[in-house]
Amino acid sequence: MYGRLVFESGLPPDYVLDRMPFYEINIALEYSYLKNKERWEQARMICYVIAQSNSTKRLKATDIMTFHWEKKEKVDTTVSDEDAKRLREKLKQYVKENSK
């Protein structure tokens, strides 16, 4: 962990060893990719320009590289019958109380 925090993330060693609270460790590790995000974007754009100039197809930058921070997570938005019934009852109660 120390190596990732100091060498990859660029945090000062004395901060990591002496002053860094434990709750910051996971946050720093989870978002350490942000340090090099701009460099990766630049590399992708250079590759995109080269590929597009040599291609007859219309390309997108994401066709060259797709980064994990660009992937959209699928969120389950289904509502169970029980929840739907509960919400309908709440709505009826709300309408009844506010229609006076």
Which DSSP letter does residue 40 get?
H
- Token pair 């701009």 in the structure block, residue: 38
Q: What is the pLDDT of residue 46?
A: 95
Q: What is the pLDDT of residue 70?
A: 83
Check whether 53 has a pLDDT greater than 90: yes
Q: What is the pLDDT of residue 65?
A: 87
- Over residues 51-74, the mean pLDDT reads 87
Q: Are 82 and 100 in contact (CB under 8 A)?
A: no
Q: Please, what is the end-to-end C-alpha distance for the chain in angstroms?
A: 61
Residue 45 banded pLDDT, cuts 50, 70, 90: very high
- Over residues 54-61, the mean pLDDT reads 91
- Over residues 68-88, the mean pLDDT reads 84
